[in-house]
Chain A
Amino acid sequence: MEDLLAARSQMAMSLAFHIIFAAIGIAMPLLMIIAEWRWLRTKDGIYLTLAQRWAKGTAILFAVGAVSGTVLSFELGLLWPGFMGFAGSIIGMPFSLEGFAFFTEAIFLGIYLYGWKRVPPRAHLFAGAMVALSGALSGIFVVIANAWMNAPTGFRLVDGKPVDIDPIAAMMNPAALPQTLHMTLAAYAATGFVVAGIHAFMLRREPDNRFHRAALAIALLVGGVSAILQPLSGDLLAKRVAKTQPVKLAAFEGHFETEQGAAYRIGGIPDEQARETRYAIELPYVLSILAYGDPNAVVKGLNDFPADTHPPVAIVHIAFQIMVACGVAMMLLALWAAWRYWRGRRKQTWLDSKWFLRAIIASAPLGFIAIETGWTVTEVGRQPWIIYGVMRTSEAVTPMPGLIVPFLTFTVLYIFLAVITVFLLLRQVAASPKDPEPQPEEAHVGA
């Protein structure tokens, strides 16, 4: 394996692994504090049990997320010293802020997980809220840095070196808002759907279990609202990509020929040799409308960009299709859930449908599939650039030889961790409480 490819593979694998734990780390605290807040409001012990059970499951994911995130912060330099040497002073700012957000998260997480008996209930809920807030913020800061790689601002390039650096302008890059919005919603939607899927599965086995009903309602609330909002943020982001990275948009769509009134493709397999996308359902004018808000807008095709600036089209297009399909399915399911809730809210029967629960179970992984494919779209779609239009990925890679060794090492390590994590979580899920557990305050997570 060529060193550049090994470095890219290691980075992709590390990110693909970490993003799962990061997304759960952003969203789970919100679910936990909703449950805890319900407990403080209703004094119904089932909500306390729920918050504590979720916290227990989340602790393990947090630990994996914290260490895999540490690995990434080092890997920026281990794999891409050229990038960090160039960009550190421009884009280090959001990473520094992320450092503090992560710090706050870790501090209050300690209080949240271990402090059930040590701090008063309101202080405990506050700690949970701080975890939720700082978790979301740290995600936002990291995505701002990624957005800058797509839409670099805040410096001028003179003789290959950045001058007139303005870190604030770099953070305010045009991709920052749509990307952070899209990722934050994705984290809530994906986590909400997984959690809903697990509790729906348990509810199918024990239909009257109040614990799982309460859990399912909260998870669907968070996941559903996010899934309904997500297409809007996606639209915002696609319009931004059309403006700042037209070649990437063309790759999303497998769009080779420049067209006026361009069609939107559903499915299809791009053939980079023949320079066309086959077997797609084409919706005329829709791409022009989606990208520019005008049915007659011209959408530039890949053929009108220099060949050495094309991303790998097939991967990007197919990943994009999968992401959109997952997102649409989740939105439809969320609407169905909202409709069922509206109709059945008085009698509390909205969860009593075999097919509804089955649909929730089946869609549990969709959010994370969408996150993984979505990041494939944005990262592979930016190639061959590491900083769009400024620095190529091949210029940034470390001179270190034999990069296949660390790539394989981390792959084996992460597969091992994934297996253990899944195994331990399954064991957690398998023991489902029926009523409030006898000593609710005995939820000492450690030791």
Chain B
Amino acid sequence: MALETIIGGVMVASLVLYALLGGADYGGGVWDLFAFGRRARDQRALIADAIGPVWEANHVWLILVIVILFTAFPPAFSVIATALHIPITLLLIGIVLRGTAFTFRSYDVQRRWSLVFSIASIITPILLGVILGAIASGTIRVENGAVTSGFFNSWLAPFPFAVGFFALALFAFLAAVYLTVEAEPGDLQEDFRLRALIAGVAVGVLALTVFILAGTGAPTVRAGISRTWWALGLHLLTAIFAVGAFLTLWTRRYKLARVCAAAQVTLILLGWAFAQYPNLVEPDLSITSAAAPTITLQLLLAALAAGALLLFPSYYYLLRVFKAE
């Protein structure tokens, strides 16, 4: 396998991990906003406890994606940062407000930080989805390394926004499922079970919306996910896990539900990545045409391997300390 493909794979894997771990932290913010009823306080406390020790580490997966992108595929980073300057800037504002408000509220009892935290937790995933949707849409055009499609066209369209809301629903779904595992059995657990089921329905509806809008919004990628031989298998598998997540939630087998939900989200992202392969920015930049020289890729891969050796045991330790129940 070519080096750039392996590194592209690592980048997608980091993105998947960001969605599974960091994404759930955003989802926690969503449920913070929608905490209501007699147990609103307990719900918020559970969310804060779940996010507190891990959000900073979870957040680094995004930085890893960016760093791999600009080291291994520098022209793609330049093009994305230019064409999507506006949504990326908004995304950053969201990240800043989310991260700081979450910490500020530990020092300040005031509800207003929770509000900032939870609203930023809703807007940021939408923007993240908008950015990915725009990259997949095929509307970012490049000539001689320069963006020719302007600063609005590629993202100010129905398809990227549909992807944005889809991302939000997925994150909220993941968070609710994870929280069913972290809650003590009882009413609180039931609260998040209900939320997970509702979010699961939203995921289904939005997945369909994205698929329909992709017909005109991202034709190449849609062709990739609807016509190739592997796509069918992948869809089938995704569907199995989606149904599995529902059934296990319904029957209150939460640990199993967590596995199903995570697998579902992973497969959705992989489906997108495979459909877009080998293009990095549809349709003008591929992972081959945007790749850095071989020596850079080799060193980066070595650094990623060495880093993983250090990282995974530490990460495992962190999760074991705080998430082992």
Contact = CB atoms under 8 A, between A and B. Distances in A.
Given A63-B56, A447-B48, A447-B49, A400 B151 contact: yes
Contacts of B95: 67, 70-71
Interface in A58-88: 59-60, 62-64, 66-71, 73-78, 81-82, 84-88
Contacts of B82: 77, 81, 398-400
Contact of B81 (A84, A89, A102): A84
Interface string B65-81: 01110111111011111
Nearest to A79: B81
A42 interface: no
Contacts of B63: 69-70, 73, 99, 102
B166 interface: no
A401 B295 CA distance: 36
Secondary structure dominating the interface of A: helix
A88 B89 contact: no
Contacts of B75: 85
Contacts, number: 217
Contacts of B97: 413
A95 B70 contact: yes
A66 B56 contact: yes
A89 B7 CA distance: 13
Contact of B92 (A60, A63, A70, A100): A70
Nearest to A93: B299
A66, A75, A82, A399 pick with most chain B CB within 10 angstroms: A66
Secondary structure dominating the interface of B: helix
Given A89-B293, A92-B72, A447-B52, A417 B96 contact: yes
B315 A107 contact: yes
B5 interface: no
B70 A88 contact: yes
Give the size range of A's interface with the partner.
Answer: 35 or more
A97 to B, nearest CB: 6
B56 A111 contact: no
Contacts of A424: 104, 107-108
Contact of A89 (B48, B93, B296, B304): B296
A66 B74 contact: no
B62 interface: yes
Interface of B: 45, 48-49, 52-54, 56-57, 59-60, 62-64, 66-68, 70-75, 77-82, 85, 88-89, 91-93, 95-100, 102-104, 106-108, 145-147, 151, 292-293, 295-296, 299-300, 303-304, 307, 310-311, 314-315, 317-318, 321-322
15 contacts: A78-B88, A78-B89, A82-B78, A89-B74, A92-B70, A106-B60, A110-B57, A114-B52, A114-B53, A168-B299, A398-B82, A399-B82, A417-B96, A424-B108, A447-B49
Given A74-B66, A76-B70, 19 more contacts: A62-B103, A63-B100, A70-B92, A73-B63, A78-B89, A81-B81, A86-B74, A89-B72, A95-B67, A97-B303, A97-B307, A99-B63, A103-B311, A103-B315, A107-B57, A109-B56, A118-B322, A165-B295, A168-B299
